Amino acid sequence: MKVFCGRANPTTGSLEWLEEDEHYDYHQEIARSSYADMLHDKDRNIKYYQGIRAAVSRVKDKGQQALVLDIGTGTGLLSMMAVTAGADFCYAIEVFKPMAEAAVKIVEKNGFSDKIKVINKHSTEVTVGPDGDLPCRANILVTELFDTELIGEGALPSYEHAHKHLVQEDCEAVPHRATVYAQLVESRRMWSWNKLFPVRVQTRLGEQVIVPPSELEKCPGAPSVYDIQLNQVSSADFTVLSDVLPMFSVDFSKQVSSSAACHSRQFLPLASGQAQVVLSWWDIEMDPEGRIKCTMAPFWAQTDPKELQWRDHWMQCVYFLPQEEPIVQGSPRCLVAHHDDYCVWYSLQRTRPDENDSAYQVRPVCDCQAHLLWNRPRFGEINDQDRTDQYAQALRTVLVPGSICLCVSDGSLLSVLAHHLGAEQVFTVESSVASYRLMKRIFKVNHLEDKISVINKRPELLTSADLEGKKISLLLGEPFFTTSLLPWHNLYFWYVRTSVDQHLAPGAVVMPQAASLHAVIVEFRDLWRIRSPCGDCEGFDVHIMDDMIKDLNVTGLHSICPAAAQKLISCWNILSTGD
């Protein structure tokens, strides 16, 4: 059976429906996933292996059979570790069908088919009983259900269900416990990824300031976490306002609740400043004693930074407070971590809140629409004053008396720059209703609603009437488009420039006038791991997964460029042999 897959055309920006094999999206998901990165994470693998050995040993010491439930088995690695550690039987749950099929083959390849049963179901669908998927409840629970935010992959509901229906009351869990940490900081750089700052433009008449509407300033912003490699952030980009605070822990060996909750920690600010951003990470303890620990802490929170493990599948988090708040050194405040079954968010309080108060469980959401239109890097671009100055400098070289400008980027302030720098008339095209409404509000608060015409259309649908019968002498673009997920998708500007050609005056200037693609060959110490073959992982052969990812990547590329596909095969073979 065939399926239709929707995807944005990188040339036109429009959504198109393509007929693909029914498993196409799932297979590509594996090819693009971080499975390889996880399997290359030596620290993670060793700690899991140690924790599993210890758990099996504790169960055996009680004179019991070691029956393991592995939720989210992936390649089956943790199940094979469990059997090698002495487990009597392991039930490996994997909901993702292509991955479950790969796990069956990997388990068979390594000779564990008689001790590991791969079950292609969601764990909440698994049954226990004489005719069920499991004959009885397991007494060891092994999982790797965590993302950068810890709970974003549904760890809490999965654990909650498992304890109620799939494992014994006194089961061993690997990992045994997780703890989430937070640190409050002031950071203009990071805050610029969340709020629109005033933008300054130098004109012949002096400085003009583009101010954000009050709705944007009051908006709590996007509630979603921002994954980041904090080890790559310069310490000069933030000021630490608090110690590292353990916000909450989850004991996976006991009944887990997925209900909304909040956890507060009182602290004494280390410095006075504007509380804006919460940096967060977590660690997991594989054993009840906490001797086997795997941590995501950035280097400054590590006891031995020299042994820092690089990871890309787990990173650290940046959360933005709903509003920045002034705090005073030494004056007590409370940082509150809120979470529901999938998400975490933070707030700052003057006193410790009632953690059972339902008012504290309401997740803040964007109500200004800017955070729906602009992602975090886009906010950073707009707030980059140096970038704005360069655009202004370029505009000064092309604007002449009587210039009629058309801006074709989504949610761009270039139209405002063009007006302030002397354009006679400015039109801006906003292809979405969200960007149209946002720009109307920005123009209104800056008293430009009668000076810049906003057109809610796709550029290729423009008519002469939309432009009041005038010909465009300057076509502007940053370019930024909401349909552009990758840098080269901005070739959409090339398409737009062609589609509006009929509206351009003779000799019209197009800015940007040209584009070039640059590439450089580099050697990474770690980043290559996310795409390199794994081969052998802790003594287990996972070549089957490597071959599957290679075949999927090559198949997808071959349909576009056979020569490039052949190059990919050669590169993969080099990585496989280590040459």
What secondary structure does DSSP assign to 87-153, as a single string? -SEEEEE--SHHHHHHHHHHHHHTT-TTTEEEE-S-GGG--BSTTSSBSS-EEEEEE----TTSSTT
For 384-511, CATH number? 3.40.50.150
Whether the CB-CB separation of 469 and 432 falls below 8 Å is answered with: no
Write down the domain spans for the chain: 2-32+521-577, 35-174, 180-373, 384-511
Whether the CB-CB separation of 565 and 556 falls below 8 Å is answered with: no
d(Cα 308, Cα 306) in Å, to the nearest integer? Answer: 6
d(Cα 337, Cα 413) in Å, to the nearest integer? Answer: 36
d(Cα 59, Cα 51) in Å, to the nearest integer? Answer: 13
Please calculate the CA angle 495-498-500 and round it to the nearest 5 degrees: 110
d(Cα 519, Cα 515) in Å, to the nearest integer? Answer: 13
| Cis status, amide bond into 487, omega within 30 of 0 | no
pLDDT of residue 305: 77
DSSP state, 474?
E
Q: Which residues are catalytic?
A: 144, 153
pLDDT of residue 548: 79
Q: Render the burial of 88-114: b for 16+ CB within 10 Å, e for the rest.
A: ebbbbbbbbebbbbbbbbbbeebebee
Structure token digits, residue 71: 């939720």
Q: Which CATH class is domain 180-373?
A: mainly beta
d(Cα 521, Cα 527) in Å, to the nearest integer? Answer: 13
Residue that the structure tokens 């960007």 belong to: 435
Structure token digits, residue 446: 């800056």
pLDDT of residue 29: 53
Q: Compute φ and ψ for 274, nearest 5 degrees.
A: -100, 115
Detail the DSSP E strand segments found in 373-439.
404-407, 425-429
For 35-174, CATH number? 3.40.50.150
d(Cα 11, Cα 495) in Å, to the nearest integer? Answer: 6
d(Cα 482, Cα 569) in Å, to the nearest integer? Answer: 33
Domain 35-174 and domain 384-511 have a common topology = yes
The neighbour count for residue 25, using CB atoms within 10 Å, is 12
Half-sphere CA count of 107, side-chain side, radius 13 A: 29
Rounded to the nearest angstrom, the gap between the alpha carbon of residue 46 and the centroid of all alpha carbons in its chain is 26
d(Cα 492, Cα 195) in Å, to the nearest integer? Answer: 27
Q: What is the pLDDT along the chain (579 residues), one digit of tens a residue?
A: 555 556 666 556 565 666 665 555 455 555 555 567 888 899 999 999 999 999 999 999 999 999 999 999 999 999 999 999 999 999 999 998 888 999 999 999 999 999 999 999 999 999 999 999 999 999 999 999 999 999 999 999 999 999 999 999 999 999 999 999 999 999 999 999 999 999 999 998 899 999 999 999 999 998 789 999 999 999 999 999 999 999 999 999 999 999 999 999 999 999 999 999 999 999 999 999 999 999 999 999 998 877 788 888 899 999 999 999 999 999 999 999 999 999 999 999 998 877 666 556 678 899 998 998 898 999 999 999 999 999 999 999 999 999 999 999 889 999 999 999 999 999 999 988 989 999 999 999 999 999 999 999 999 999 999 999 999 999 999 877 777 666 666 778 888 999 999 999 999 999 998 888 888 999 888 888 777 888 899 999 999 988 877 765 544 444 444 554 454 445 545 555 444
DSSP state, 358?
G
pLDDT of residue 111: 98
Whether the CB-CB separation of 454 and 428 falls below 8 Å is answered with: yes
Q: Is 399 helix (H, G, I), strand (E, B) or coil?
A: coil
pLDDT of residue 533: 85
Residue that the structure tokens 């990071």 belong to: 190
pLDDT of residue 520: 93
Whether the CB-CB separation of 280 and 180 falls below 8 Å is answered with: yes
pLDDT of residue 308: 84
| CA torsion through residues 363, 368, 372, 378, sign | negative
d(Cα 295, Cα 309) in Å, to the nearest integer? Answer: 9
pLDDT of residue 310: 86
| CA torsion through residues 475, 479, 483, 488, sign | positive
Whether the CB-CB separation of 154 and 222 falls below 8 Å is answered with: no
Which residue in 292, 321, 294, 322 sits closest to 309, CA to CA? 294
d(Cα 445, Cα 246) in Å, to the nearest integer? Answer: 42
Residue that the structure tokens 């909650």 belong to: 160
d(Cα 206, Cα 158) in Å, to the nearest integer? Answer: 60
d(Cα 406, Cα 7) in Å, to the nearest integer? Answer: 28
pLDDT of residue 572: 44
Residue that the structure tokens 């929707």 belong to: 6
Torsion angle of the four alpha carbons 505, 509, 510, 516, in this order, in degrees rounded to the nearest 10: 140
| Cis status, amide bond into 479, omega within 30 of 0 | yes
What residues contact 362, with CB distance under 8 A and at least 6 apart?
A: none
